[in-house]
Amino acid sequence: MKAFVLERYGKTSTLTSTERPTPEIRDDEVLIEVHAAGVNLLDSKIRDGEFKLILPYRLPVVLGHDVAGVVVKTGARVRRFQPGDEVYARADDFRIGTFAQYVPVREASLALKPRNLTMEEAAAMPLVGLTAWQALVERAGLKRGQKVFIQAGSGGVGTFAIQLAKHLGATVATTTSTTNVALVKGLGADVVIDYKKQDFAEVLRDYDVVLNSQDGKTLEKSLGVLQRGGQVVSISGPPDPEFGQAIGASGFVRLVMRLLSAGIRRKASRQGKRFSFLFMKADGGQLGEITALIEAGVIRPVIDRVFPFASTNEALDFVRAGRAKGKVVIKVK
């Protein structure tokens, strides 16, 4: 099969287009013929080597986390899917590889593709959808009447999270650039801050939840917009001790995570607020719930650009530049 492979870490590295054996599947996996693959900032960060501490991949490795395609083979213990099913998923850590013609995915991480989406639209949803779900529903328990601040509203996670938060009945504030104000308002944002003209820390007060996706300085400022008892869920770091324990990290790695997050955890605690780091995980059950929302018209995909498979490196660079409105997708078949 054709695949794009990372052979060495580095900000100047490019993926190599090569022929690879079609992956063997385990008993609890299905083999998917990839029709489309979403491109995420996580992919470019792995390529750059920024996640070696959390995800120590042995190179060479095929990159890519989001997939939409058709089941072509099932493992001996798979019961819910069969060849011919149209499916989508966020591939499992250490079994990634959606920038290829075929990828294995665990049955537990898989869901049927929303009937009202194309393959390209479906491939845009799993990672950002699960990130928003796990941050707002699972971690924060966002409720009707609460207020949530979602940073970078025009990005991949932001465009999904705004729609999900509005469905949950929350008041939503977000930041974006001047050119994207209409986009995020159309998705349901109630308070839109043009970060080129305003500082969100001077505008927002007494929020219940912040979904942080930016740098450390923005994270610290975000604590100030929370009311006492509020919480910030960060998907951009720093990783905390609970995350290290959850992934079974070594004692040394857990110590590093404790030190990296010590400052923000102390500051949050002193203010009577909570900080937690979220590294989203594949989950077919949650993806099934997201499918229901998509098919009901509650959430729609926002796609900036679809690249041909041959232009996978260009798609990664486009995402890394940070200017995409919504998601970037690679059309594989």
- DSSP letters along 224-261, please? TTEEEEEEEEESSS---HHHHHHTT--HHHHHHHHHHH
pLDDT for 323: 85
Please tell me the distance from the alpha carbon of residue 167 to that of residue 143, in angstroms, as a whole number. Answer: 10
ω into 238 cis (within 30 of 0): yes
Please tell me the distance from the alpha carbon of residue 199 to that of residue 196, in angstroms, as a whole number. Answer: 8
Please tell me the distance from the alpha carbon of residue 256 to that of residue 239, in angstroms, as a whole number. Answer: 9
pLDDT for 244: 85
Exposed e or buried b for every residue in 9-24, given b needs 16+ CB within 10 A? eeeeebbeeeebebbe
pLDDT for 154: 97
Please tell me the distance from the alpha carbon of residue 150 to that of residue 159, in angstroms, as a whole number. Answer: 9
Residue intervals of the chain classified under CATH 3.90.180.10 are: 2-125+301-331
CATH of 128-277, one of 3.50.30.60, 3.40.50.10260, 3.40.50.720, 1.20.120.1200: 3.40.50.720
Please tell me the distance from the alpha carbon of residue 244 to that of residue 124, in angstroms, as a whole number. Answer: 28
Contact 299, 2 (CB under 8 A): no
Question: For the domain bounded by 2-125+301-331, which CATH number is listed?
Answer: 3.90.180.10
Please tell me the distance from the alpha carbon of residue 161 to that of residue 128, in angstroms, as a whole number. Answer: 8
DSSP 316: H
Residue intervals of the chain classified under CATH 3.40.50.720 are: 128-277
Please tell me the distance from the alpha carbon of residue 294 to that of residue 117, in angstroms, as a whole number. Answer: 8
Q: What is the pTM of this model?
A: 0.97
Please tell me the distance from the alpha carbon of residue 301 to that of residue 95, in angstroms, as a whole number. Answer: 25
Per-residue pLDDT of the chain (333 residues; tens, 9 = 90+): 999 999 999 988 999 999 999 999 999 999 999 999 999 999 999 999 998 888 889 999 999 999 999 999 999 999 999 999 999 999 999 999 999 999 999 999 999 999 999 999 999 999 999 999 999 999 999 999 999 999 999 999 999 999 999 999 999 999 999 999 999 999 999 999 999 999 999 999 999 999 999 999 999 999 999 999 999 999 998 999 888 888 888 888 889 899 989 999 999 999 999 999 999 999 999 999 999 999 999 999 999 999 999 999 999 999 999 889 999 999 999
